[in-house]
Structure formats: structure tokens, C-alpha cells
Amino acid sequence: MSLEPFWSLHVYEGCLTSEGDDQANSFAKIYASLCMKNLPNLEALREKPRPIPSLPTEKAALFLAGNPGDAWSVPDKYGTFVLALPSGKIFCAVHVRRASTETAIKLFTGLVANPPSPFTSTLVKNEQTHSPSNGQTQTLSYEWSVPSTTRKMLFTITTATSESAQLQVLGSATIISQ
């Protein structure tokens, strides 16, 4: 089943006014076109950025949470974005240094809350915490599933409101079995 028409319909275009909104809009486009679109075949995605050098091992480690794999800087006029693909895992992540967290959550929810048929979407996590270094942190996770299957797609966004947070937006996509 091709999800191609879904991606083109759900990537948001528009005149957003603030820099934070522009960054969040770029996040949504990058997340949808790289992680969501390629989740069923991340090895093919791993080959796409070959012309772009991957980050050096020591810098990539920050985005791979200590796992082996590759990370690339994703060129965009609105901010610093990093694509991370750990080796041997069906896991894709997009990291954003600065973006409007409110807009990023709104766009992410628009992408994952209403999947194409025959998938159904279920909100499985909505957690908020607060810390001095990150400010208000929110994590949302949605599962996409098809009846009578054990594999599900899990889409997660974590945002941190503090201007001093190392990252303000992290979006990930993975396939899980239950």
C-alpha cells in the first residue's frame, strides 16, 4: 500500500509569521518526508543522504543516544535539523535545536492523529513534566495499527519550552511488535 498521497496532503504549506513557527513547519516537513514516509524501509533512507557527509562519530553520538548508527545535518533555511538513524533498529529521529513547541505539537498531531485508511491512530502517551534546564516538557505518542496485526507504527514528539534547552523538539518514528 502506498502512502504517497497521504504525505503530500499532510505536509503543511503556509505563511507562518514567526521564526519559531517557520522552524516548526520545517520540522513537520522534514519529519513527514524522512521518518514517516520511509519508516517501512529505513535502509533505503540511510542511502539517500550519502552525498551529504554524516556527522563525525563524536557529534553523531549525541543524537544516537550512545547507539551505533549515522546522523546527518539536514539543510534548511529555518534552522538546525539533524536526522538520526541508529544501526540495526527500525527507528528514525529528527532533532531540532529551536522551534515553536506549540506549533510543532500542532503540526505533529495533524500528521499522526488521522492516518490513511486502513490504519487507525491511538494516542498512547500524553505526558508533561517540568525541569529547570528544559522548562515545560511534553511528550505525545501515537500508534498506527491495522486490525489483526501485531506490528504497529509508533510516532512520538517531545518538546521543551526553555530557550536554554539543548533541543526544543525531537520527533521519532519506529515500528513495534506486540
CA distance readout (Å), 157 to 111, 117, 160: 11, 22, 10
pLDDT of residue 16: 39
CA torsion sign for 27, 32, 34, 40 is positive
pLDDT digit of tens for each residue in the chain (178 aa)?
Answer: 334 433 333 344 444 358 889 999 999 999 999 999 999 999 888 887 667 788 999 999 999 988 999 999 998 999 889 999 999 899 999 999 999 999 999 999 999 999 999 999 999 999 999 988 899 999 999 999 998 888 999 999 999 999 889 899 999 999 998 7
Q: Name the amino acid, one letter, at 24.
A: A
Q: Which residues pair with 145 in a beta bridge?
A: 120
CB 113 within 8 Å of CB 134: no
Domain of 77 in residue numbering reads as 4-177
Q: How many domains does the chain contain in total?
A: 1
Between CA 45 and CA 38 the distance in angstroms is 6
∠ CA(123), CA(37), CA(59), 5° rounding? 90
Sequence-distant (6+) residues with CB within 8 A of 2 are none
